[in-house]
């Protein structure tokens, strides 16, 4: 059964900047927002893949600006936000999706490089993208920021201590930014996916044994689909969610229940 969707014109006239769009969940989120009428700024390190995605979005009748952005470098974040505002005049929606988890190992084996890469991508990049975009949203008195957290933030994650810590930090930032930006009409929320068929969960889908273990542990009996996350993002970014802020919503088939 396909997920129920919002009206096709829900986000018409809005500009959305999505990070980590070259593949996986970020790509699905960008297509989902375009499907609902938004124009897109696509920010990731892989410019060629962003260009291909931009062409798909243009075929849908939306505008798209593909940019090469290293989320670990604040100067590139600021340049991306400035370019987006120059091109489209404003940013109505920011989706902080870019994330990484390059290691799965015990905490006693974690090396400094992996700590820095995970925290700089998942937390530092998210914070400074939010800061840069909020500075443009505040004078306009409106805007929506949607952070992609993880179900790993809700409980201890053996072999994923650094990743889980980074996503717990995302949840805290979501609540704090929501409080600070509420007087300016800006909402800030987070979605916490568990295991999806693409993105960081791809190592699971390649293993029938791991897939079965995850599916059997999930109350709804399956992994998530990219469109299901994209629809949740579109809802939080829409006017229908104007009274929702500071929330972390887990999109996990009941995993955290």
pTM for this structure?
0.93
Q: Is-catalytic flag, 250?
A: no
- The single residue of 163, 235, 243, 250 carrying the catalytic annotation is 163
Contact 26, 20 (CB under 8 A): yes
Q: How confident is the model at residue 71 (pLDDT cuts 50, 70, 90)?
A: very high
Question: 246: which residues sit within 8 A by CB, 6+ positions away?
Answer: 174, 175, 178, 179, 182, 188, 189
15-251: CATH topology is: Rossmann fold (3.40.50)
Residue 182 scores a pLDDT above 80:
yes
Which tokens hold the place of 171? 């949840």
Q: Stretch 138-156: mean pLDDT, rounded?
A: 96
Question: 83: which residues sit within 8 A by CB, 6+ positions away?
Answer: 65, 67
- Nearest CA-CA partner of 145 in 124, 121, 170: 170
pLDDT one-digit tens code per residue, 192-239: 999 888 765 566 666 777 888 888 889 999 999 999 999 999 999 999
């Amino acid at each position: 059964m396909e997920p129920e969707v919002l009206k096709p014109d829900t986000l018409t006239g809005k500009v959305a900047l999505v990070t980590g769009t070259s593949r996986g969940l970020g790509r699905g989120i960008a297509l989902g927002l375009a499907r609902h009428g938004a124009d897109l700024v696509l920010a990731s390190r892989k410019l060629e893949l962003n260009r291909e995605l931009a062409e798909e979005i243009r075929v849908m009748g939306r505008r798209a600006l593909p940019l090469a952005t290293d989320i670990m470098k604040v100067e590139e974040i600021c340049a991306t936000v400035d370019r987006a505002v120059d091109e489209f005049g404003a940013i109505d929606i920011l989706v902080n999706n870019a994330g990484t988890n390059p290691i799965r190992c015990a905490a006693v084996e974690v090396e400094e490089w992996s700590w820095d890469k995970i925290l700089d991508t998942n937390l530092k990049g998210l914070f400074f993208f939010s800061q840069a975009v909020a500075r443009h949203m505040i004078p306009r008195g409106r805007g929506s920021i949607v952070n992609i957290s993880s179900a790993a933030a809700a409980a201890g994650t053996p072999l994923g201590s650094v990743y889980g810590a980074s996503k717990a930090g995302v949840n805290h930032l979501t609540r704090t930014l929501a409080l600070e930006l509420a007087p300016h009409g800006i909402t800030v929320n987070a979605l916490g996916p568990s295991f999806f068929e693409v993105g960081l969960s791809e190592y699971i889908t390649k293993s029938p044994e791991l897939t079965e273990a995850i599916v059997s542990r999930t109350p709804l009996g399956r992994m998530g689909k990219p469109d299901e996350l994209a629809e949740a993002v579109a809802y939080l970014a829409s006017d229908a969610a104007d009274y929702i802020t500071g929330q972390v919503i887990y999109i996990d088939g009941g995993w955290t229940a």
